[in-house]
Amino acid sequence: MVQPKKEERKPTVDELLAKAKKPSQLASPLHRFYEGKLQVMPKCSITSPADFAIWYTPGVATPCKEIQANADKSFELTNRWNYVAVVTDGTRVLGLGNIGPEAALPVMEGKGLLFKYLGGVDGFPICLRTKDPDEIVRACELIEPSFGGINLEDIEKPKCFYVLEKARERLHIPVWHDDQQGTATVILAGLMNAFKIVGKKPNQSLITLVGAGSANVRTAYVLIRWGMKPGNIIMADTKGVIYPGREDIKKEDNPWKYELSQKTNAEGRRGDITEAFKGVDAVVAASKPGPGTIKKEWISMMAKNSIVFACANPIPEIWPWEAKEAGARIIATGRSDFPNQVNNSLGFPAIFRGVLDVRAKTVTDDMCIAAAQELAKFAEERGMHEEDILPRMEEWEVYPREAVACALKSIDQGVARIKPSKKELYDKAVAMIQNARESTRLLMKNGLIKQAPPEDKLLK
% of the chain with per-residue pLDDT over 70: 97
pLDDT of residue 315: 86
- pLDDT of residue 121 exceeding 90, the answer is yes
Q: Are 121 and 115 in contact (CB under 8 A)?
A: yes
Label residue 337 by pLDDT band (50, 70, 90).
Answer: confident
Average pLDDT over residues 234-259: 95
- pLDDT of residue 414 exceeding 80, the answer is yes
CA 360 vs CA 81, 148, 160, 363, 412: distances in Å:
10, 8, 22, 7, 11
Is 111 catalytic? The answer is yes
Q: Are 277 and 298 in contact (CB under 8 A)?
A: yes
Query: Would you mind telling me the total number of residues written for the chain in this entry?
Result: 460
Among candidate residues 111, 166, 200, 324, the one labeled active-site is 111
pLDDT digits (tens, 9 = 90+) for 2-23: 665 555 566 676 776 777 778 8
Q: In whole angstroms, how large is the CA radius of gyration of the chain?
A: 23
Q: Which residues contact 415 (CB under 8 A, 6 or more apart)?
A: 360, 361, 362, 364
DSSP one-letter code for 6: P
Greatest Cα pair distance, the chain, in angstroms, is 73
DSSP string across 341-378: B--GGGTHHHHHHHHHHTTBS---HHHHHHHHHHHHHH
Among candidate residues 56, 65, 239, 250, the one labeled active-site is 56
Label residue 457 by pLDDT band (50, 70, 90).
Answer: confident
- State how far the Cα of 302 lies from the Cα of 304, in Å rounded to an integer: 7
DSSP string across 376-443: HHHHHHH-BBTTB-S--TT-TTHHHHHHHHHHHHHHHTT-BS----HHHHHHHHHHHHHHHHHHHHHH
Average pLDDT, the chain: 94
pLDDT digits (tens, 9 = 90+) for 127-176: 999 999 999 999 999 999 999 999 999 999 899 999 999 999 999 999 99
Average pLDDT over residues 225-240: 96
Q: Which domains does the chain have, with CATH numbers?
A: 46-179 (3.40.50.10380)
- State how far the Cα of 335 lies from the Cα of 290, in Å rounded to an integer: 13
Is 65 catalytic? The answer is no
Instruction: Please give the order of strands across the beta sheet that includes 175-177.
Output: 122-127, 83-88, 149-152, 175-177
